[in-house]
Amino acid sequence: MRLLTTLAYALALPIVLVVVWWFASAGSESVFWPPLSKIVGVFGETWNADRWTGDVLPSLARLAVGYLVALVLGVLLGVLIGLHRPVRAFCEPTLEFFRAVPPPVLVPVIALFLGYTGDTSKVVTIAVGCVWPILLNTVEGVRGLDEVMLDTARCYRLSAWTRLRQVVLRGASPQIAAGARQALSIGVILMVISELFGANRGLGASIVQFQRSFAIPQMWTGIILLGILGFLLSVLFRLVEHYALAWYRGLRQADRGA
Amino acid sequence: MPTALDVRGLKKTYTTGGTSLEAIEQLDFSIGKGELVCIVGPSGAGKTTLLRCISGLLDATAGVVELDGTAVTEPPAGMAVVFQEYGRSLFPWLTVRQNVELPLKEKKVPRARRTELVDEALDAVGLSDSAASHPWQLSGGMQQRVAIARAIAYEPSVLLMDEPFAAVDAQTRADLEDLVRELWKRLGVTVLFVTHDIDEAVYLGERVLVLSNRPTVILEDVAIDLPDERDQLTTRSAPRFAELRAHVYELIQKAKKGERPA
Amino acid sequence: MTVATVPVAGTRTERVAGRGRDATLGVLGLLVVVGLVEALPRLGIVNDRYLPPASAMFTELAGQLGEAAFWTALGDTLRGWALGLAVAMAAGIVLGVLIGSVGILRDLTASTIEFLRPIPSVALIPLVVLLYGSRPTSALVLVVYAAFWQILVQVLYGVADVDPVVRDTARSYRFSRLAIIRTVVWPTALPYVMTGFRLAASVALILEITAELIIGVPGLGKSIGVAQSSGAVEKTYALVIVVGIIGVAVNLLARALERRTLRWHVSVRREAR
């Protein structure tokens, strides 16, 4: 029963909104706001098998590769920098500067080096854009590690490898996750933007092509698809986080209760 | 009695940016195998500094610390430490069992033996039922029991305890004190127990080392000639307990006034 | 007796000295990077058509400072950013307090917010291009959309963080709804609002620059795009440096504001995500 109520609450507004959109746009003559029925009608044919293999999946693959590269690099460098105060002091202002540069301007800069046609430049754009929040949050997390915990690890003679895995990475994981979450939304932005330069294929490129050729209902299907993908990615992220940081939620609740 | 821990000429001076501060002037003492020795001192007496030097977490400026005849230069294998801040010393992402087991895995204790040690240790501190819980699901006193279980499962030859019960309530504290006495007797482990609580020191120890204020030296090495069987009620109301307590109390007062041994 | 109470660990002068040393190291770090950017192209390790020497970038930057076009573009960018951020702040705070204080609204909107929030604002680019072309309104829509969620979510967390005992106390003294919001809800939520502001400020800048770069809305982003495609490499880098400096300034400003509001705030709070 409780589940049903929760479900009803969760679904009520979305259903109302879709219904309102459906009927409000039903007789729409406006070029820009086609009827929702029409948008839904062309969805299947627009995103056919060819588009999935030729555009959507390659876009997602580039995002995945770029994001993972950023994750590995960011955590690795973040730990190295975070563990040593002089190194941290040396690097931090520089890193803060690179983080503050809005990632989209990377596109023209990377275009200078690599041109902007192949996959490499796009993956590099995504990786370079995503790495800063992960890196800086990791540094912050490692810096905030508890002294007593580090002492404990030393007293019980945990090896460097175990300390890294069991103490440093686990201890910094809440901050790393926060950085990874920021990076994911930047990654999606860059996945789209990186396809808008030059003649390209991909999810973002397709949507803009629809717009340029005034295929408006198709453009709308693209916007909706991109929205759904963004939503699914965040759900996926939250699942991983939920599992990996269960202890952290419990700890916080225990702290608050005390 | 063979010596377990030997501290000779220990001296610690902190130097930062041109200024230097002498925390420990000169400390000499040794602890026999199987002894339970308490260290008390006024606050700011460098108790924590001393403990960190002994445990190999901090390099001494001069002097040596020897554990079973080997000089301590890094945290030694035969030593386990129980910190005051139980909440920060247990790993919150591991369960109680995993917390106790982790150092044993690191020591490459075979799995079967590991399970046995962990079970015994958790049983000894009365936490067999909480093995699958996370530390933050337990009360403060129970968390400190986990830390103690981790220490005894490690089978150290010396167990260092740094004001372990300063952060738990009085009732729990009495229980934990009895637990320490019981484990010490049963396991025959050498215990060095640092505290600022005079009653606790006299109740627990066979000897009490009273520290001066900074720069630290030993003011007196008090032998506690109370009977071996102790319990909270009779021991604490014994006349001899009161005498010893008064004696240590006076020493601490002297230490606060800056008195040094002759 | 924790490590921190070892009296030596932190006398005031020593901590200040430590910070001074850190700052020196930080400046050194920046200088090394600038030195590398100067040396790599000069030594021919990197082609200077891709990466001109740092000195060339800074010369170009100095030249830009004398040009009216640069200042116009800078003004456009800052105006678009500030306007979008202000609209998003206002909307986020009003809706956040409203939704957060009314239980049924909170339950009804939760799923919708969770669905709309992760939709990348760049998905709206084709739509705003159709509707507004390269006028500043295009950038405004993207900036507001992106920044709004950051603030809304933080405000919701903040309102949810209100101590029920305090709220009940206020109610038992028959405070009006408005008075409760002013005296109980708002002070609790304020630090969260500031966190939201910090996150939103940098997201807003990202989207403002994106709109300029991609759609051609007037501003520094557009200038960077034009400079790059016309082969003005030094100018490209000079403008990227300017944008970076703006980003740093925005971060510092937001953090300073956040710290000011946090100073008197006692409750333990987390950065809600």
Tens digits of residue pLDDT in B166-222: 888 888 888 899 999 999 988 889 999 999 899 999 999 999 999 888 888 888 888
Nearest-by-Cβ selection for A251 from B107, B136, B154 = B136
The pLDDT-based confidence of C8 (bands split at 50, 70, 90) is very low
The pLDDT-based confidence of B145 (bands split at 50, 70, 90) is very high
Domains and CATH numbers, chain A: 36-257 (1.10.3720.10)
Is A215 part of the contact surface with chain C (CB cutoff 8 Å)?
Answer: no
Q: Which residue has the higher pLDDT, B21 or C56?
A: C56
How far does B259 lie from chain A, in Å, by closest CA? 33
- SS3 at position B209: strand
Residues C32 and C87 in one domain: no
Q: Are residues C220 and C239 in contact, defined by beta-carbon separation less than 8 angstroms?
A: yes
Instruction: Name the residue among C188, C57, C50, C207 with its Cα closest to residue C125.
Output: C207
Instruction: Name the residue among A234, A9, A224, A20 with its Cα closest to residue C111.
Output: A9
The rounded distance, in Å, linking the Cα atoms of C149 and C155 is 10
How much is the average pLDDT of B149-168?
Answer: 90
Q: Are residues A96 and C244 in contact, defined by beta-carbon separation less than 8 angstroms?
A: no
pLDDT digits 0-9 by tens, B111-120: 999 999 999 9
Residues C133 and C208 in one domain: yes
Q: Are residues A95 and A135 in contact, defined by beta-carbon separation less than 8 angstroms?
A: yes
What residues does each domain of chain B span?
3-78+157-256, 90-155
How much is the average pLDDT of A238-242?
Answer: 91
Question: Is-cis flag, bond preceding C136, omega within 30?
Answer: no
How far does A158 lie from chain C, in Å, by closest CA? 21
Q: Which residue has the higher pLDDT, B37 or C169?
A: B37
What is the DSSP secondary-structure string of A149-164? Answer: HHHHHHHTT--HHHII
Residues C164 and C217 in one domain: yes
Residues C70 and C37 in one domain: no
Between chains, do A167 and B91 touch, taking CB under 8 Å as contact? yes
Q: Is B42 exposed, middle or buried (0-12, 13-18, 19+ CB in 10 A)?
A: buried
CB-CB neighbours of A76 under 10 Å: 13
Q: Which residues contact B198 (CB under 8 A, 6 or more apart)?
A: B40, B245, B248, B249, B252
Residues C183 and C220 in one domain: yes
pLDDT digits 0-9 by tens, A163-185: 999 999 999 999 999 999 989 98
The rounded distance, in Å, linking the Cα atoms of B255 and C39 is 63
Alpha helices in C133-185 (DSSP H): 136-160, 164-172, 177-180
The rounded distance, in Å, linking the Cα atoms of B75 and B85 is 19
Residues C96 and C220 in one domain: yes
The dihedral of CA C48, C50, C51, C55: what is its sign? Answer: positive
Q: Are residues C123 and A227 in contact, defined by beta-carbon separation less than 8 angstroms?
A: yes
Between chains, do A248 and B91 touch, taking CB under 8 Å as contact? no
The rounded distance, in Å, linking the Cα atoms of A183 and A129 is 8
Residues C19 and C138 in one domain: no
Chain A / chain B CB contacts < 8 angstroms: 71
Residues C31 and C92 in one domain: no
> Lowest-pLDDT range, B9-23, B142-156, B236-250, C62-76?
B9-23
Between chains, do A109 and C209 touch, taking CB under 8 Å as contact? no
When the pLDDT of each residue in chain A is averaged and rounded to a whole number, the result is 89
Prediction pTM value: 0.86
Instruction: Name the residue among A102, A61, A53, A63 with its Cα closest to residue A194.
Output: A63
User: What count of Cα atoms within 13 Å lies in the side-chain half-sphere of residue B148?
Assistant: 29
Residue of chain B with shortest Cα separation from A159: B106
Instruction: Return the pLDDT at C47.
Output: 83
Instruction: Return the pLDDT at A198.
Output: 66
> Lowest-pLDDT range, A66-70, A166-170, C268-272?
C268-272
Q: Are residues B5 and B190 in contact, defined by beta-carbon separation less than 8 angstroms?
A: yes
Instruction: Return the pLDDT at C13.
Output: 53
The rounded distance, in Å, linking the Cα atoms of C209 and C222 is 8
Is C7 part of the contact surface with chain B (CB cutoff 8 Å)?
Answer: yes
CB-CB neighbours of C152 under 10 Å: 25
Q: What is the CATH code of the structural domain delimited by B3-78+157-256?
A: 3.40.50.300
Q: Are residues A82 and A139 in contact, defined by beta-carbon separation less than 8 angstroms?
A: yes
What is the tally of structural domains in chain C? 2
Residues C157 and C35 in one domain: no
Instruction: Name the residue among C119, C146, C253, C266 with its Cα closest to residue C206.
Output: C146
The rounded distance, in Å, linking the Cα atoms of B109 and B77 is 13
Q: Report chain C's terminal Cα–Cα distance, integer Å.
A: 35
Residues C230 and C102 in one domain: yes
CA B209 from centre of chain: 13
pLDDT digits 0-9 by tens, A207-222: 888 988 888 999 999 9
Residue A134: C-alpha distances to residues A139, A177, A255, C131 (Å): 9, 8, 26, 36
The pLDDT-based confidence of C9 (bands split at 50, 70, 90) is very low
The pLDDT of residue C145 is above 90: yes
Tokens of C218: 């007037």
Which of B10-19, B145-154, B207-216 tops mean pLDDT? B145-154
How much is the average pLDDT of A245-257?
Answer: 83
The pLDDT of residue A201 is above 90: no
The rounded distance, in Å, linking the Cα atoms of B221 and B57 is 25
pLDDT digits 0-9 by tens, A90-137: 998 999 899 889 888 888 888 888 777 788 889 999 999 999 999 999
How much is the average pLDDT of A21-42?
Answer: 87
Please report whether residue C252 resides in a domain. yes
Residues C117 and C199 in one domain: yes
Between chains, do C112 and A227 touch, taking CB under 8 Å as contact? no
Residues C38 and C149 in one domain: no
User: Which residue range(s) make up the domain with C29?
Assistant: 3-42
When the pLDDT of each residue in chain C is averaged and rounded to a whole number, the result is 85
How much is the average pLDDT of C159-178?
Answer: 81
The rounded distance, in Å, linking the Cα atoms of A109 and C213 is 12
Residues C245, C248, C249: CA angle, nearest 5 degrees: 85
The rounded distance, in Å, linking the Cα atoms of A128 and A110 is 10
The pLDDT of residue C264 is above 80: no
Contact map slice: A 23-52 vs C, CB within 8 A? 32
Domain of C87: which CATH number?
A: 1.10.3720.10
How far does C26 lie from chain B, in Å, by closest CA? 19
Size of chain C, expressed as the number of residues it contains: 273
